[in-house]
Amino acid sequence: MSSGIRAELRVDAAGTCPVVEAASAAGSPTFSVSRAVDPGGPGRVTEEFMLDGVADGELADDEDVDTVFSYGSKTVYRLTRSRDAGCPCECIERFDCPVVDVHTRDGLLYLVFHAADMEQLQNIITTLRTEYPQVDICRLLRSEGEDGGDDLVFVDRGRLTARQREVLETAHRLGYFERPKGANAGEVADALDISRSTFTEHLAAAQTKLLDAILDG
């Protein structure tokens, strides 16, 4: 079995992705966005997406959006539009890489897709970064061999707060994680001008986020 990479990217697609715009206008994240290319003829794409806490008909003013069905607080909508080369999904699909999951949160688009190798992935990311103001890597998994084992995980630093990154970077720079230690907790806390207990709290929170990302991968 040849190797492949499963990537999750976070893209600021405001103003270019109609699903992001619909979700932002409704103040809701989307769930389980599905895409069908050319369902109604050449150059057309249909996307179905779910919003939570949005009343049926709330997007009725958008002539391209139809309500499919509602259950509980969730409503599924169908959007039919012309294909747009500026859409992040279609930018990725130009590289013959299937987009397997799409959703939005806080006005950002999260895309999961498969690339053949690291070179192709780098080309996709480079292309996206020339077109969008923010493109972050959330997670990368590479599968090799017949067992399909995952052996590569990239963790997005965006999971951490600015303070948590500062704590980790300072601790690493001072040798806190080395054996023997280049600095103890008190010395790192002093360099950060915080108490030792505050340092350990920030460190524990940061390490938990990183471990969750790695182990969940």
Domain boundaries, the chain: 4-153, 159-216
CATH topology (fold) of 159-216:
Arc Repressor Mutant, subunit A (1.10.10)
User: Is residue 34 within 8 Å of residue 112, measured between CB atoms?
Assistant: no
For 90, the token pair is: 């279609």
Q: Mean pLDDT in the chain?
A: 79
Q: How far is CA 28 from CA 19, 53, 58, 120, 199, in A?
A: 11, 7, 12, 33, 35
pLDDT above 90: residue 198: yes
Q: How far is CA 161 from the centre of its chain?
A: 16
The 10s digit of each residue's pLDDT in 56-98 is: 445 545 557 788 888 777 888 888 877 765 688 888 988 999 8
- In terms of phi and psi (left: phi > 0; alpha: psi -120 to 50; beta: otherwise), the region of 131 is alpha
pLDDT above 90: residue 108: no
pLDDT above 50: residue 124: yes
Confidence band for 55, pLDDT divided at 50, 70 and 90: low
Q: How far is CA 168 from CA 154, 158, 159, 188, 196, in A?
A: 17, 13, 13, 10, 14
Calpha distance 175→171 (Å, rounded): 6
Calpha distance 27→32 (Å, rounded): 17
